[in-house]
Amino acid sequence: MSGPQVRADDEGAAVPREGAPLERMGFLTIGSFDPADPAAGHRDTLAVIELGEQLGFDSAWLRHRHLQHGISSPVAVLAAASQRTSRIHLGTAVTPLGWENPLRLAEDLATVDLLSGGRLEPGVSVGPPMRFEEVREALYPGTADLEDFGYGRVLRLLRLLRGEPASTFSGTEGVETWSEQVQPHAAGLVRRVWYGAGSTRSARWAGENGLNLLTSSVVKAPGEGPWDFGEIQAEQVRAFRAVHPAGAAARVSQGLVVVPTDSATAAQRERYAAYAAARTPRTREPQGPARLLFAPDLVGPSEEVAAALHAHPGYREVREVVFALPFGFAREDYEQILTDTATRLGPALGWQPHGPR
């Protein structure tokens, strides 16, 4: 594929031109499962990732769902996926670091990256764990008030992935040899770390620290309305690139809920439409104390979805996407959505699949 067309913005920075071909396309799932048979749901998720590779997707991403009926350990599932695939990149979108010890996570990420042949794309975020007051004694008994849930937790992880010292001791003691670095070390992994940002402040911080940027279907609404989700998201992307060392070349991925219906049955189209309609009210104004604004789900024939994306200010700022699969649907629904995305929507966006279809 030829490189993306670019134009200059008002400050001279190069950004994608409207209608430029999409460079990379991935998908995201939470891996829902029936609590009465959780193994089946995990196997279905692995099968969906395998299908994604067969269809030529560039990446497959898992979202953490702690204490819910969705995958709680994406890194473990991606380790399994790494042995069932050979090309598709495997990501987390995102790992909330408030649930993690950065040193232990660095070990796990490096291990999976090596098993995958350098295909891991770890996405992270910060902040206290969701429903922290209810889980704090189980997660951090006696130390919850001492934990740093801010950006420093990301910086700790990055230092460890780079190979900076994790210990003051290295050498041989008895029959054991110790390293001062996290082992195994996966060279290049730190350059594939993404930050999931919902605010301009977080996007700018990610840029200042040289991370890749994951944007999603949620942003923090600034000031007074009216609010335009796409314009807010586009401004966050521009703020990120303005301070990133790579400038306009800095990687940004957009993640909206996108459901093409070209080959869907009448029953599937009805379910998808009802799903989107139930979620539409939250797109009209900011929700809750955090003032979260949600993007409308895009459901319909690929030509209509592609037109909506080309008109979306946030989409026009990116060269790669990770489309989110809707929650709580059956494996056959995901197979239909992914097949239509790869064979109809992707080409309508100028994307070319990789590998066999």
Task: State how far the alpha carbon of 156 is from the alpha carbons of 112, 233, 271, 339, in Å.
Answer: 19, 27, 44, 39
Give the whole-angstrom CA distance, residue 164 versus residue 167: 9
Residues 6+ apart with CB under 8 A from 156: 102, 103
Backbone angles phi, psi at 271, to 5 degrees: -65, -45
CATH superfamily of the 6-166+180-348 domain: Luciferase-like domain (3.20.20.30)
Q: Is the peptide bond preceding residue 286 cis, with omega within 30 degrees of 0? A: no
Given a contact cutoff of 8 angstroms between Cβ atoms, the answer to whether 115 and 83 are in contact is yes
Which pair of tokens denotes residue 321? 């996407």
Alpha-carbon distance of 180 to 261, in angstroms, equals: 53
C-alpha triplet 326, 328, 329: angle, nearest 5°: 75
pLDDT in tens, the chain (357 residues): 333 333 334 433 334 445 689 999 999 999 999 999 999 999 999 999 999 999 999 999 999 999 999 999 999 999 999 999 999 999 999 999 999 999 999 999 999 999 999 999 999 999 999 999 999 999 999 999 999 999 999 999 999 999 999 999 999 999 999 999 999 999 999 999 999 999 999 999 999 999 999 999 999 999 888 999 999 999 999 999 999 999 999 999 999 999 999 999 999 999 999 999 999 999 999 999 999 999 999 999 999 999 999 999 999 999 999 999 999 999 999 999 999 999 999 999 999 998 654
CB atoms closer than 10 angstroms to residue 103: 13
Distance CA 46, CA 289 (A): 36
Sign, CA dihedral 157-163-169-174, equals: positive
Contact between residue 272 and residue 280 where contact means Cβ atoms under 8 Å apart: no
Query: Is the separation of the CB atoms in 52 and 88 below 8 Å?
Result: yes
